Structure formats: C-alpha cells, structure tokens
C-alpha cells in the first residue's frame, strides 16, 4: 500500500493515476484546502475515485487524529509515503508565513513521526526549486549550499528538507526530497502562470506580465515529474538524498507567452506590471544527480508539453465540461 498526501492536487492526482496503472494499492490523503476549488480537485480524481484499489481520506495532515485514523487503516501495510500535500504558491505565502510553515514544516514533522513509529516506510518528499532563491550560480546543483530563499514558501520547504535530513540520520529513516522545478501540464494548478495565461487568452482578457518578461523558468512536464517520483520510490542506495527534478532548459516569460500564443493560435493582449516580491529572476536545474541516482531524464520539450496541455483543455471542452482550471475566475 502506498500513501500519497495531496492526492487530489495537480501532481498528486497524476501520481495516483500512474500508481494505479502500475498495479499498486493507493491510499490518498487530502483536505481539499481552499487555495483553489474542491470541485477542481474532485475532477482531478474522477477516474481514480472509481478504481477498486484507490481510497481517499479527506483529512488535514496537521491534525494528530488524522494519523491515528491512518494507522488503523494502514495497519503495517504501508511501504512508501509520497508527501505532496502542502500550501503551495510563492506569492500567497507572503501573506501567510505562519500558515505555510504550519502545513509545510509542522505537517511534515507529523508525517515523519508517523513513519518513524509505523515501520519506517520509505518517504519521498516534494521540495521545490524555490529553495535556491536568488543564487545566481546556474544551473543549480544540489551540492551548492548557498541557498538564498526569498519567500515564506521557499523557507518552509527548506526547513522541511532539513527536518527530513535529521530524521534520516537520527532515526534511520530512508527519505528522498525531490526539488521540483515549475511543473506544468494537464490539471495544472489554476494559480500557476501557464494555466492562468491560457485561461485569460482564451477569454480575450489581458495577460499580466510582471517585470520586463526576461525572467526565466525551467518548466518541467508533469509526466516527467511523476516518472521521477516513481523512480525515487524505488531508490534505496543511501538513507537521505536531495535531488533536482527539472527540465534542464530555461524558457523566458516572453518565450512562454509566444509558445502559448502559437499553440493556441491567439494573439495575446499584454498588461505590463512591476516585478513581484518573492519572484526569483531565474530557475535552472542541473539534473546530473537525478540521472546518476535515479536513471532519470526529462523527456518532454516545452512546446510538446504545451501542446499536450492544450489538447487536454480541448478534450475537457468536447466532453461538455469546463477544464477544471477554467472553474477559477
């Protein structure tokens, strides 16, 4: 049995689908945090929820009772936990630093405590490229310790990694922390730029461009991320690792908008705005370690990923439903 926290979210729901397809029994945990609509998250799990090997627990990982309930359900059958539940998003974290640390650090500590007392299942944690912050030495490598986070979200993820390192050394837990680089694709979180821009372009609304459009992101397609998670679930060569999962290519904000415009066949209206606090100028992953330890390489180039995203939006429309990300105003 595999426990997936944040199972109803963007990445979590893709991972659940993949694990079910691979023949696993999956227990999902999600509290349907109101960051974006619960309806969107239920839609993410539409297929999985009909599957006989899937069960979902609607509960908050920060509540101690949640773990008491999970202990009863899992008994000693849990061999791996993939921890994706979090308060996500850089900019919203600036308004709620304590809430972000409560979920992302204290919530993770509850999970690690649970694992420690229930058979030490292998743990895979979702960390983030944001921990590198404004470090200008790119591409970013995991052994560069000059981490300069600039948002409460980023510091909560870095604190989570450090807590995990302690659990691995003090209690002998086996933990892999994966630093995801801007993940996109079908079901992308509606607050993230690609989903938001596509939604606004299709509605004929202006696209907010913060700064001069030169910021660069290492966009990583969700199927590649899921493949990296699955490989990390099998990793057992050392007790603790931090591993980047990125596309190892950077795309500027301007290039991202141009690709969307090209794939969607829409001439976008741009609204130029000042740079945002918490936004870093660039993200860029060195993926040597992921390749060496996990045998992982990203397979999806940016234009192909955007085409896959558009065809998912089109399918949702053909089925008469709004794409989940379009449920958000």
- Residue of 24, 41, 217, 289 interacting with ligand NAD (CB under 6 A): 41
Asked if 112 touches ligand NAD (CB under 6 A), the answer is no
CA atoms within 13 A of residue 176's CA, in its CB half-sphere: 25
Report, in Å, the least distance between residue 84 CB and ligand NAD: 4
Alpha-carbon gap, residue 93 to 239, rounded angstroms:
31
Q: Which residues contact 266 (CB under 8 A, 6 or more apart)?
A: 201, 202, 260
Q: Which helix (H) or strand (E) holds 241?
A: strand 240-245
Asked if 82 touches ligand NAD (CB under 6 A), the answer is no
Alpha-carbon gap, residue 258 to 267, rounded angstroms:
9
- Residue of 4, 19, 31, 242 interacting with ligand NAD (CB under 6 A): 31
Active site residue 153: yes
Report, in Å, the least distance between residue 59 CB and ligand NAD: 7
Asked if 85 touches ligand NAD (CB under 6 A), the answer is yes
Residues 131-190 that bind ligand NAD (CB under 6 A): 180, 182-183, 189
* Cα torsion angle, 34, 37, 40, 43, sign: positive
Report, in Å, the least distance between residue 125 CB and ligand NAD: 8
* Cβ 285 vs Cβ 139: under 8 Å: yes
Alpha-carbon gap, residue 48 to 270, rounded angstroms:
38
Asked if 114 touches ligand NAD (CB under 6 A), the answer is no
Asked if 56 touches ligand NAD (CB under 6 A), the answer is no
* Cα torsion angle, 184, 98, 229, 138, sign: positive
* Cβ 206 vs Cβ 153: under 8 Å: no
Alpha-carbon gap, residue 188 to 222, rounded angstroms:
8
Catalytic residue, chosen from 36, 100, 132, 153, is: 153
- Residue of 28, 107, 121, 228 interacting with ligand NAD (CB under 6 A): 107
Report, in Å, the least distance between residue 311 CB and ligand NAD: 20
In the complex with ligand NAD, the residue whose CB is nearer, 56 or 209, is 56
In the complex with ligand NAD, the residue whose CB is nearer, 180 or 318, is 180
* Cβ 163 vs Cβ 112: under 8 Å: yes
In the complex with ligand NAD, the residue whose CB is nearer, 12 or 121, is 12
Report, in Å, the least distance between residue 267 CB and ligand NAD: 27
Residues labelled as active-site residues: 153
Give me the residues that bind ligand NAD (CB under 6 A), please: 5-6, 8-12, 29-33, 35, 41, 60-62, 84-88, 103, 107, 126, 128, 180, 182-183, 189
């Amino acid at each position: 049995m595999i426990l997936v926290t944040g199972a109803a979210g963007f990445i979590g729901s893709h991972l659940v689908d993949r694990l079910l397809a691979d023949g696993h029994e999956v227990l999902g945990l999600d509290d349907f945090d109101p960051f974006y609509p619960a309806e969107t998250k239920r839609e993410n799990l539409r297929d999985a929820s009909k599957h006989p090997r899937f069960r979902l627990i609607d509960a908050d990982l920060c509540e101690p009772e949640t773990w008491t309930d999970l202990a009863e359900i899992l008994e000693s059958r849990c061999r791996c936990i993939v921890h994706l539940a979090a308060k996500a998003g850089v900019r919203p974290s600036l308004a709620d630093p304590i809430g972000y640390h409560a979920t992302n650090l204290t919530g993770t500590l509850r999970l690690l405590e649970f694992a420690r007392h229930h058979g030490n299942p292998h743990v895979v944690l979702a960390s983030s490229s944001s921990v590198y912050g404004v470090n200008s030495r790119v591409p970013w490598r995991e052994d560069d310790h000059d981490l300069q986070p600039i948002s409460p979200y980023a510091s909560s993820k870095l604190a989570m990694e450090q807590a995990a390192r302690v659990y691995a050394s003090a209690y002998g837990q086996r933990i892999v922390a994966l630093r995801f680089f801007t993940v996109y694709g079908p079901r992308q979180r509606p607050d993230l730029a690609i989903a938001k821009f596509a939604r606004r372009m299709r509605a004929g609304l202006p696209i907010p461009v913060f700064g001069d459009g030169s910021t660069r992101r290492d966009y990583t397609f969700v199927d590649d991320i899921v493949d990296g998670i699955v490989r990390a679930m099998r990793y057992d060569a050392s007790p603790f690792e931090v591993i980047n999962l990125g596309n190892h290519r950077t795309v500027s904000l301007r290039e991202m908008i141009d690709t969307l415009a090209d794939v969607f066949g829409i001439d976008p209206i741009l609204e130029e705005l000042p740079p945002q606090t918490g936004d870093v100028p660039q993200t860029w992953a060195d993926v040597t370690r992921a390749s060496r330890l996990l045998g992982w390489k990203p397979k999806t180039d940016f234009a192909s990923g955007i085409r896959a995203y558009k065809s998912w939006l089109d399918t949702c429309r053909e089925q008469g439903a709004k794409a989940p990300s379009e449920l958000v105003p």
